[in-house]
Structure 1
Amino acid sequence: MMDWNDGGMSGWGWFGMSLGMLLITVLLVIGGVLIFRALDRSTTHLAPPTSPTAPGPTPPEQLLAERFARGEIDDQDYRKRLAALRESAHP
């Protein structure tokens, strides 16, 4: 039986093995980062942070004014809806 290079690896064998180890290391690091980010996201972002000075929900009149400013409703429709909102707020 004939042994090539006395049973050792050639230069291409070392190259292939080094490339494989590098690929495995990169995949392990990427997998670890993805797992860490997934776990971090699920624990730190369960509820949005609230501060005592944060404004409450937007009043309906302000939403109506924003729709009017964007051109979604015309002047006549804006005035009619605004009057209906004010009537329902103060019966």
Structure 2
Amino acid sequence: MMYGWNDGGWGIGAWILMALVMVVFWGGIVALVIFLVRRSPADHGEHPLVQTHHEAERILNERFARGEIEDEEFTARRAALRRKE
């Protein structure tokens, strides 16, 4: 014997619950994928422009240490780099 809609089932509540659980499940999967894609291994909390600034200042320090630029030029260029921060 077959049961009808009201005999032995949850009725429309089960369909609503299943739909909500499915939306939450797939929403969680999509959020996890987006989180993993946006997170790059190169990011260590610093913005790329800050990393570029540190690199530029390191190169300037090396050039000064090798004697390629004079004290006045070093000071002016370092001040210019720090103004751009």
TM-score by length of 1: 0.42
TM-score by length of 2: 0.45
